[in-house]
Each structure stands twice: as structure tokens, then as C-alpha cells.
Amino acid sequence: MNYPEFFDKIPQIKLKDNLSSFLGAFNDGEVVFSYKDIVKSAGHSCPTVLGAYLMTYKALEELYVNESPIRGEIKIEFSSKQSDGVTGVISTVMSNITGATYDTGFKGLAGNFDRRHLMFFEKDISSNARFTRADTKNSVDVFYDASSINMSEELQSLMQKCLSKKANEEEIKEFGKLWQKRVEEISNKIDEVISVVKI
């Protein structure tokens, strides 16, 4: 499977999943997500998918200092509706990593490991997302802004040509390369595009 090399340079997200441990899926419940894993799940790599991944990475880094984040015990809130803009894409990426779901997730076993009711929409927050630990109730607001990484004129032109189905095969391939180059540029500036505020 061929993919852009920068995927492997993006920090991995390591968690402990007690459900995985209980059911014998992973030894000690240790789970590791890479950006490549999320791209396979989402079906594409773009600034939105990357942003959702990086927001999760930075939020968990702040909430669990010198600890392993506990999958299935992290609440996530959004100010928008699930169907608004790219909220659905972002929430799906975050759900895949943290296990948090609105009402469609694992129902649990005898009251344990319930993954539902950990994701909420249309909440009164000003950030892109708010992450809260279920055990300590500590929260962080996460902000993502990649507007400083502008789309080049060449990329814009090729995108329009591809979407209008006027591009040839070489132009389509070049568009993909330039698109991922922009995603890579964003990934190289994590601390510039992501900010985390403790609540």
C-alpha cells in the first residue's frame, strides 16, 4: 500500500482500552492509532481529517500528562449540529480514536464499558471541541485554524479542473500530490494550527 511518507511522521496516539483488555483483543488494552489508520477509516486525507486527528492528539496530551488516555472514558462536545459543515467528519475521526459516541456505540456489559452518551452536539462552547475526562472531570477546549496555510493558485486551478472533469490523468495525479503537500505543510505546524485551553 503506497501512501505519502509524511503520514508516518505525524505523532501516534496511544491509549489504554479496558474493553479490549477485558475481551482479550489487545494485551493490557494498549491501543495505538496512527494518522494512516485514520486516513484508511475516513477514506481520504485532508485538512479536516488531519485537524480532527491533531486536535484529539493535543487534547489527550494535555488531559493525560504522564498517563495513558483511557479509551471509552472521554467525553467530547461540539457547538454545532452533527450534520453542520464538517462536524460529522471531525466527530467520526474523534469517535474512532476515543471510542466516544452519541447513542450508537457499544452498550456495555452489565453496566461496564458503555461507549454511548460520550459525544454531544449543540453545546454552549466557543471552541472547535471540548474534551473531558470521565474520572477527574477535567476539561480542555481545543481550537484548530489552518487558514495560514493557503491553498496555492495552482492547486485551486487543478481542483476546479478535476471537479469539472476536464483534467487529464496527469493533472489528476498532480492535484493529489499538491493536495497532500498542503496537508503535510499543516502537519509540520502542529503548534501553530492547534491550541489547547484548560477549563
What does the pLDDT look like over 13-55, one tens digit per residue? Answer: 999 998 888 888 888 889 999 999 999 999 999 999 999 999 9
- Secondary structure class of 115 (helix, strand, coil): coil
Q: Tell me the average pLDDT across 69-84.
A: 95
- How many beta carbons lie within 10 A of that of residue 22, not counting itself? 12
Question: Side chain identity at 60, as an amino acid letter?
Answer: L
pLDDT of residue 82: 92
pLDDT of residue 18: 87
Give the global pTM: 0.95
pLDDT of residue 27: 83
119-155 burial by CB neighbour count: b if 16+ within 10 A, else e? bbbeeebebbbbbbbeeeeebbbbebebeebeeeeeb
**Residue 159: is its pLDDT beyond 80?**
yes
Alpha-carbon radius of gyration of the chain: 18
**Residue 132: is its pLDDT beyond 80?**
yes
CA–CA separation, 104 and 17 (whole Å):
18
pLDDT of residue 103: 80
In the predicted model, what is the mean pLDDT of the chain? 94
